[in-house]
């Protein structure tokens, strides 16, 4: 761009806060947000119940209420994937993206606000979903459960919460990239449920991919010197998420909408 008269830019502070307020307002006024979060919570509880019953039959190989209560998360994460994709792709319904970019023309700021908002909404929802599953398992198993320290429970729960939040952000980035709900859902779920697990079985390097690295944050991995530790997993998944958001940002800034 050549020399335009110095644009009087609004102070970053209020503009960023307003973008955040607008994005938050968008997310909470979308019925799909609440339906997805509520549906995920219910489905997770049902699956957690199923795992717990299987645990009572002794077919889970563990008696830890934390492990059994969190086992369902690997399925319930589909709900968080959907939420992320919907948050991103809902912009493309009814031409809303034009309203968004006319109201908030600084695209990098708007997209950052959108991801930040999503994290703000998802973190408590993920914590509640994960904790309710563990509470259910602990309640049903009662004294038959293997005792675990509260430190272990807290570590597992915070790992799951962070994992689900990052997964949601990855899904939102893919949604923003693809701009079509169904295609984005197919890509992300296909990766997390089909391609990821199969790669994990066949290629050692797959442990650094987002899904395996993320699992390491909360899923008990066999003791193995080369295994990814929870902290490393968290760093890897954060790096993947940030990298993806940066790529999306670069494309989003230049793209005709």
Partner 1 sequence: MNVITIDDLVKRRGSKEILAGISFQARPGRVTGFLGPNGAGKSSTLRILLGLDRATSGTALIDSVPFVQLRDPLATVGAMLDGSGAHRARTGRAHLRWVARSAGLHRARVDEVLEIVGLTNAASKRVGSYSLGMGRRLGLATALLGDPEILILDEPVNGLDPDGIRWIRTFLRERAASGRTVLLSSHLMGELAETVDDVVVINEGRVVADGTLDEVVGAHRTLEDAFFALTTSGAP
Partner 2 sequence: MRALAAEAWKLASLPTVWIATAVGVLVPSVIAGITASATLGAITRGAGTVPGVDTGYQELAFGVVGAIILGVVGISSEYFTESEESGGGRQITTSLTVVPSRLRFLLTKISAIAIAAALLAIIAAATTMGVVRVVLGAHALTLGADDVPRLVGVVCYWVYTALLAFGITVLTRHGVIPLAVLIANTSVVTVTYLLTKITPLANYLPDMAGVRMFIRKLADNTVEISPLTGGLVMTAWVAVLLVIAAIAFTRRDA
Nearer to partner 1, 121 or 217 (CB): 121
d(CA 133, CA 70) in angstroms, rounded, equals 6
CB distance 178 to 151 below 8 Å: no
Does 13 interact with partner 1 (rule: CB under 8 A)? no
Nearer to partner 1, 101 or 128 (CB): 101
Q: What is the per-residue binding string for partner 1 in 45-84, x denoting contact by CB under 8 A?
A: ----------------------------------------
Q: Looking at residue 21, what DSSP letter applies?
A: H
Angstrom distances, CA of residue 79 to CA of 38, 168, 211, 217? 9, 9, 15, 19
Which of 189, 221, 238, 249 touches partner 2 (CB under 8 A)? Answer: 189
Q: What is the per-residue binding string for partner 1 in 92-111, x denoting contact by CB under 8 A?
A: -xxxx-xx-xxxxxxx----
Contact window for partner 2 (CB under 8 A) among 122-130, 135-143, 178-186, 242-250: 178-186
Nearest to 164 by CA among 195, 202, 133, 204: 133
Does 70 interact with partner 2 (rule: CB under 8 A)? no
Nearer to partner 2, 50 or 227 (CB): 50
CB of 198 to partner 2, least distance (A): 6
Residues 6+ apart with CB under 8 A from 61: none
Does 251 interact with partner 2 (rule: CB under 8 A)? no
CB distance 124 to 157 below 8 Å: no
CB of 108 to partner 2, least distance (A): 22
Q: What is the per-residue binding string for partner 2 in 29-68, x denoting contact by CB under 8 A?
A: ------------------x--xx-xx--x-x---------
d(CA 161, CA 129) in angstroms, rounded, equals 9
Nearer to partner 1, 11 or 222 (CB): 11
CB distance 27 to 99 below 8 Å: no
d(CA 80, CA 94) in angstroms, rounded, equals 23
CB of 132 to partner 2, least distance (A): 18
Which residue matches tokens 């960023």? 16
């Amino acid at each position: 761009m050549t020399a335009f008269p110095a644009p009087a830019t609004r102070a970053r502070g209020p503009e960023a806060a307003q973008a955040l307020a607008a994005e938050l307002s968008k997310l909470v006024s979308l019925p799909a947000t609440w339906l997805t979060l509520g549906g995920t919570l219910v489905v997770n509880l049902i699956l957690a119940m199923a795992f717990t019953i299987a645990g009572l039959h002794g077919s889970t190989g563990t008696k830890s209420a934390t492990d059994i209560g969190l086992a369902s998360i690997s399925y319930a994460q589909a709900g968080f994937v959907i939420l992320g994709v919907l948050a991103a792709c809902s912009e493309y319904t009814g031409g809303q993206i034009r309203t968004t970019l006319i109201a908030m023309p600084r695209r990098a700021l708007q997209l950052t606000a959108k991801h930040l908002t999503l994290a703000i909404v998802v973190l408590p929802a993920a914590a509640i979903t994960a904790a309710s599953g563990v509470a259910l398992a602990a309640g049903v198993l009662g004294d038959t459960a293997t005792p675990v320290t509260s430190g272990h429970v807290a570590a597992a729960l915070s790992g799951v919460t962070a994992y689900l939040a990052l997964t949601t952000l990855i899904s939102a980035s893919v949604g923003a990239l693809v701009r079509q709900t169904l295609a984005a859902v197919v890509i992300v779920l296909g990766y997390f449920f089909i391609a990821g697990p199969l790669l994990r079985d066949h290629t050692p390097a797959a442990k650094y991919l987002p899904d395996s690295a993320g699992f390491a944050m909360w899923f008990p991995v066999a003791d193995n010197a080369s295994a990814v530790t929870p902290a490393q997993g968290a760093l890897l998944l954060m790096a993947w998420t940030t990298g993806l958001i940066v790529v999306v940002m670069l494309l989003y800034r230049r793209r005709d909408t």
